[in-house]
Amino acid sequence: MVIKQYSKEELVTLTRQIVSGKLAGTITHKAKNILMPITGYVELIEGGVSSEKQKKYFEKIESSGKRLQLLLKSFLRFSRASNAGGRGWQGLEEIDLSGLIEEIVSLFEDHITISKVTLEKEIAPGAGKVCGVYGDISLIIASVLLNAIEASPQGGSIRIVGEGLSISIDDDGPGVSEETKNKIFEPFFTTKQGSLGIGLTTGLFLARGMGGDLVLEGKNKFIVSLCQKKY
């Protein structure tokens, strides 16, 4: 089999397309679940209800609308993010680590449920602001989280922890063997059928491009380390 030679920037774009594609189905399902009650409340209002109930239904419609807006905004922000990949410190911004983790996890909620795994999330009080590019950091977290979901057995659990300037993600899967440990960051190396094997390669490239790193600790825990802004 002949494998096309990709530039680092092309790998980043391809990885984002793959992750976005896998998320699209569950995001659509989640959006439909938000829209269904809105339709129900509109029908109730059209059927004639008291002004008190009408006000209550309009409040619920507004709340659901805001949830849908937030969901779509988060997904579009992730899927359309520009690739800063490797520009060094130029153009990096200060990003709230806890808020970023919350946003990415919210995109994966239905994907996690469908995969029949549970997610344990812990954001330590010390998790602060990091220096980076939103699109790059979110793609690193999404790629590692997607790997963890796909590696976890049904009924297994995934843990994501934000602490200081780092994010760790580990799962209950079989883990990385000693034989493949030195190869997992190589482009197109994979042990999963149907996988292109570029997620971790892209994650490492992006992390180092922002002055951070992506490492495997033990067999199952990946740690994304980031930096504070340099002045």
- Name which residue leads in pLDDT, 48 or 230: 48
- The pTM (predicted TM-score) of the whole model is 0.71
17 half-sphere exposure, CB direction, 13 A CA radius: 7
Nearest CA to 147 out of 214, 88, 54 is that of 214
Residue 231 confidence (pLDDT) above 50: no
Strand duo 129-132 + 166-171: pairing: unpaired
Out of 19-28, 112-121, 140-149, 202-211, pick the least confident.
19-28
Structure tokens at 227: 């930096």
Q: Alpha-carbon distance 97 to 128, whole Å? A: 6
Q: Alpha-carbon distance 103 to 66, whole Å? A: 15
- Name which residue leads in pLDDT, 23 or 116: 116
Q: Which domains does the chain have, with CATH numbers?
A: 8-79 (1.10.287), 93-225 (3.30.565.10)
What pLDDT, on a 0 to 100 scale, did the predictor assign at position 63?
Answer: 81
What pLDDT, on a 0 to 100 scale, did the predictor assign at position 163?
Answer: 85
What pLDDT, on a 0 to 100 scale, did the predictor assign at position 223?
Answer: 93
Amino acid 228 reads: Q
pLDDT tens-digit readout, 1-30: 444 566 667 777 777 777 787 777 777 877
Which residues, at least 6 apart from 65, have a Cβ–Cβ distance to it below 8 Å?
A: 38
Q: What is the mean pLDDT of residues 62-83?
A: 74
Backbone φ and ψ for 133, nearest 5 degrees, come out as -120, 125
Task: Give 170's pLDDT tier (boundaries 50, 70, 90).
Answer: very high
Q: What percent of the chain has pLDDT over 70?
A: 84
Nearest CA to 173 out of 149, 143, 199 is that of 149
Cβ neighbours of 129 (radius 10 Å): 17
What pLDDT, on a 0 to 100 scale, did the predictor assign at position 158?
Answer: 93
Residue 159 confidence (pLDDT) above 90: yes
Question: Which string of b and e fits 70-100 if b means at least 16 CB within 10 Å?
Answer: ebeebbeebbebebbbeeeeeebeebebeeb
Which one of 51-65, 86-100, 142-156, 192-206 scores highest in mean pLDDT? Answer: 142-156
